[in-house]
Amino acid sequence: MDLTYVAAFVDGEGCIVIGKTKKWNPRQKKRYLCTTIRMEVCNTDFDIINDIHKFMGIGHIVDIKPRKTEKGTETKPQKRWQTTHRQTHEVLKQILPYMREKNKREKAKEVMDFYKERDRE
Chain segment 2-48, per-residue pLDDT in tens? 999 999 999 999 999 999 988 888 888 888 888 999 999 999 999 99
In this structure, are residues 92 and 111 in contact, taking their beta carbons and an 8 Å threshold?
yes
User: What does the pLDDT read at residue 51?
Assistant: 96
What global pTM score does this model have?
Answer: 0.83
Can you give the pLDDT at residue 121? Answer: 65
Region of residue 33 (left: phi > 0; alpha: psi -120 to 50; beta: else)? beta
By the 8 A CB rule, do 118 and 37 touch? no
Summarize pLDDT for 82-109 with one digit per residue, the tens. Answer: 999 999 999 999 999 999 999 999 999 9
**93: helix, coil or strand?**
helix
